[in-house]
Amino acid sequence: MCDGTLILVLARCCRSALALTLLLGACTRAEPSGLATSTVIRWEAGGSLFGGGETLTVTSGREIRYVFSDDTGQSREHRGSITPQELDNVIVQLRGVCSTRSRRDEGEPEEVQATLRVRSSDLDCAVTLWDNEWRELAPTVGPAIGQLRGLSSDAPDP
């Protein structure tokens, strides 16, 4: 879809430098997830620069493990499961995020980064963004991560 021929054809019809830059950005290859074959989704987010955060993992056996830790070092673990159809729906929701790249080298004061890793039969990507960049993607990512949190029993929705 983003091979050299397509870029050349589009470059001829889109003479503006901005359009060509946007085109090339859209064709950026996703970073590989680095996940083991036994893991399908992994979300890791820091709570603050002072500690805390959350990790959510979905295995190929459709088990969900959610760990939330506060800035005092206390952590809570929740487990659950997901049906094949629910997992497919979550992966579809996350698919478009894989080509996203951070537009910043540094975060704002006290801003942390979060990483989403997805590995399925036809998708393998990792995306690391600053917290405010993830907030911009909230309509796409938020429902999927929220659904996984909810399926891990009584996990909080931070």
- Each residue's pLDDT, cut to its tens digit, for the chain (158 residues) gives 343 333 333 334 444 443 333 334 444 567 999 999 999 999 998 866 567 788 999 999 999 999 988 878 889 999 999 999 999 999 999 988 888 888 888 888 778 889 999 999 999 999 999 988 988 887 878 888 888 888 876 555 55
Q: What is the rounded CA–CA span in Å between residue 38 and residue 63?
A: 10
Our CA angle for 51, 149, 107, nearest 5°, is: 40
Residue pair 82/64 in contact (Cβ under 8 Å)? The answer is yes
Residue pair 102/120 in contact (Cβ under 8 Å)? The answer is no
Q: What is the rounded CA–CA span in Å between residue 135 and residue 75?
A: 24
- Alpha helix segments (H runs only) across the chain: 4-13, 17-26, 84-95, 131-136, 138-151
Q: Which CATH class is domain 31-151?
A: alpha beta
Cα 83 to its chain centre, rounded Å, is 20
Q: What is the rounded CA–CA span in Å between residue 124 and residue 112?
A: 24
All CATH 3.30.1560.10 domain ranges in the chain, comma separated? 31-151
